[in-house]
């Protein structure tokens, strides 16, 4: 399955039951709350962007395009491509053209299809006056569920800059790493700086787990550690399967099982909430969602292709 077919499917999932809306008690969060003050590498670009976390819709921010808005966009590291709804195209008077690679994806038998793309050159995030000097392509879809106007893939939208997402404090920063990028030897206390693994031609942020598997860091997903290949250790605690709807309107099911210990480079995460997916298409990668990453500030440096996972300051 191609990058584009998987990209939309893997994030911004909508839970019918609201299971993924809040972190679970007794998870990997407890042992990392005390964080020392950590200096951020690079130079912040623009102002701090405050994020809103919405039940079932993930991390949201206001976006203006060509002065029109605000639109509600979900910030999603697992997207792989930015999506805009037809209403954004109409309100911002954007030009569309035939996509060079038609888009089709979905975690289920449903499909989300786009044969058109647009170029976004005038965008502000968080505040109308927080303009970014960025130009990137976005796929056009007829509509998105849950009152979302778009899905923002920060890796492509912010290039050549990097960015950080502070999950507990719900903050987004865009960072210029051209002067000095992340370095493995500068790993923070109780954190790690690890390789940004490339999976084929997929530029989304993958990391390698201690058991050798590649896992997608997916801020659009409320999962913990989500797998669909059956390689899970632990009992299911009599949890029932929960129905999960994807952007295409189709659905799969997921079951939360006993927490596991996961290592990412030198970082050992204990009692990580773990979810088994049923009905996901072949090729779906291991996913590390917000419920596993909640204590951390995640920093992505495209210049050195490194990712910092650091305890967030509180």
Residue 267 phi/psi, 5-degree rounding, is -85, 120
Placement of tokens 């969060």 in the chain: 29
Strand-strand pairing, 150-152 and 82-85: antiparallel
Lowest-confidence range among 68-72, 126-130, 239-243? 239-243
- Most distant CA pair in the chain: distance in Å? 52
Quickly state the pLDDT bin for 217 (edges 50, 70, 90).
very high
Residues 6+ positions from 212 with CB-CB distance below 8 Å:
none
- What is the model's pLDDT at position 31? 31
Query: Tell me: the pLDDT tens digits for 263-314?
Result: 999 999 999 999 988 877 777 889 999 999 989 999 999 999 999 999 998 7
Does the structure show a pLDDT above 90 at 50?
yes
Count up the domains in the chain and report the number.
Answer: 1
Q: What is the pLDDT of residue 202?
A: 82
Average pLDDT over residues 179-198: 93
Q: Which of 3-17, 101-115, 205-219, 247-261 has the lowest mean pLDDT?
A: 3-17
Tens-digit pLDDT profile for residues 24-41: 223 343 333 222 223 446
What mean pLDDT is reported for the chain? 79
The answer for residues whose C-beta is within 8 angstroms of residue 211's C-beta and 6 or more apart is: none
Q: What is the pLDDT of residue 208?
A: 96
Confidence (pLDDT) at 57: 76
What is the C-alpha separation between 244 and 125, in angstroms, rounded?
Answer: 29
Residue 302 CA to residue 257 CA, distance in Å, equals 34
Top-confidence residue, 281 or 141:
141
State mean pLDDT over 239-262.
74
Mean pLDDT of the 82-103 span:
86
Indicate which CATH number applies to the domain containing 13.
2.40.70.10
**Residue labelled with tokens 């084929």:** 200
Mind listing the pLDDT tens digit for each residue in 152-174?
999 999 988 999 999 999 999 99
For 216, the domain range is 3-311
Instruction: Give residue-wise pLDDT tens across range 233-245.
Output: 555 555 667 766 6
Each residue of 58-83: b (16+ CB within 10 Å) or e? Answer: bbbbbbbbeeebbbbbbbbbbbbbbb
């Amino acid at each position: 399955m191609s990058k584009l077919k998987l990209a939309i499917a893997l994030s911004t999932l909508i839970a019918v039951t609201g299971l993924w809306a809040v972190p679970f008690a007794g998870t990997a969060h407890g042992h990392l709350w005390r964080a020392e003050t950590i200096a951020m590498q690079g130079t912040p670009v623009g102002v701090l962007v405050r994020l809103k976390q919405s039940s079932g819709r993930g991390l949201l921010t206001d976006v203006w395009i060509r002065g029109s808005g605000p639109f509600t966009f979900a910030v999603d590291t697992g997207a792989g491509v930015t999506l805009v709804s037809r209403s954004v195209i109409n309100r911002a008077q954007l030009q569309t053209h035939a996509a060079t690679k038609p888009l089709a994806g979905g975690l289920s038998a449903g499909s989300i299809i786009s044969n058109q793309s647009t170029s976004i050159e005038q965008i502000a995030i968080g505040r109308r006056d927080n303009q970014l000097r960025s130009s990137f392509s976005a796929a056009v879809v007829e509509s998105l569920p849950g009152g979302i106007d778009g899905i923002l893939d920060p890796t492509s939208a912010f290039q050549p800059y990097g960015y950080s997402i502070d999950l507990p404090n719900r903050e987004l920063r865009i960072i210029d790493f051209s002067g000095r990028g992340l370095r493995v030897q500068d790993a923070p206390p109780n954190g790690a700086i690890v390789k940004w693994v490339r999976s084929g031609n997929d530029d989304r942020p993958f990391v390698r787990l201690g058991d050798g598997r590649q896992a997608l860091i997916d801020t659009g997903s409320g999962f913990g550690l989500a797998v669909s290949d059956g390689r899970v250790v632990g009992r299911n605690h009599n949890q029932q399967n929960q129905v999960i709807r994807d952007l295409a309107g189709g659905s799969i099911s997921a079951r939360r099982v006993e927490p596991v210990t996961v290592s990412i480079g030198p970082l050992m995460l204990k009692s990580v909430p773990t979810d088994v997916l049923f009905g996901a298409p072949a090729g779906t990668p291991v996913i590390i969602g917000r419920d596993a990453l909640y204590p951390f500030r995640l920093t992505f440096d495209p210049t050195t292709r490194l990712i910092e996972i650091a305890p967030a300051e509180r």
